[in-house]
């Protein structure tokens, strides 16, 4: 088979630079006051877009209310741990 391994014993400098420069660019954008304002506007828009169905659908609202309770979190954590 000619399938390369998942981990190779050589550096990929292009990917290393990309994986470091993208987070730095996002951080710099957020630290810039105009960029931070745009991030907050986008965050509020996305929040209202995703939560608008909860205002008009009481069943969906109750499902999310029950799913956000601590016993539900404990049950999902126990499921992830293999208990």
In a domain, 39, yes or no: yes
Tokens of 62: 């109750």
57-79 residue pLDDT tens: 888 888 888 887 877 666 665 65
Q: Is residue 1 part of a domain?
A: no
Domain assignment of residue 26, given as a range: 13-80
Contact between 69 and 75 under an 8 Å Cβ cutoff? The reply is: no
Q: How many domains does the chain have?
A: 1
pTM of the model: 0.57
For residue 1, pLDDT over 60 is answered with no
Burial environment of residue 39 by CB neighbours within 10 A (0 to 12, 13 to 18, 19 or more): middle
DSSP assignment of 1-68 equals --PPPSS-SS--HHHHHHHHHHHHHHHHHHHSHHHHHHHHHHHHHHHHHHHHHHHH-HHHHHHHHHHT
């Amino acid at each position: 088979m000619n399938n390369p391994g998942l981990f190779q014993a050589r550096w990929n400098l292009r990917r290393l630079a990309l994986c470091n420069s993208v987070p730095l660019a996002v951080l710099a954008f957020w630290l810039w006051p105009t960029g931070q304002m745009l991030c907050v506007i986008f965050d509020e828009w996305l929040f209202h877009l995703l939560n608008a169905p909860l205002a008009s659908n009481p069943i969906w609202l109750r499902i999310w209310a029950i799913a956000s309770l601590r016993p539900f979190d404990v049950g999902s954590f126990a499921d992830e741990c293999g208990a």
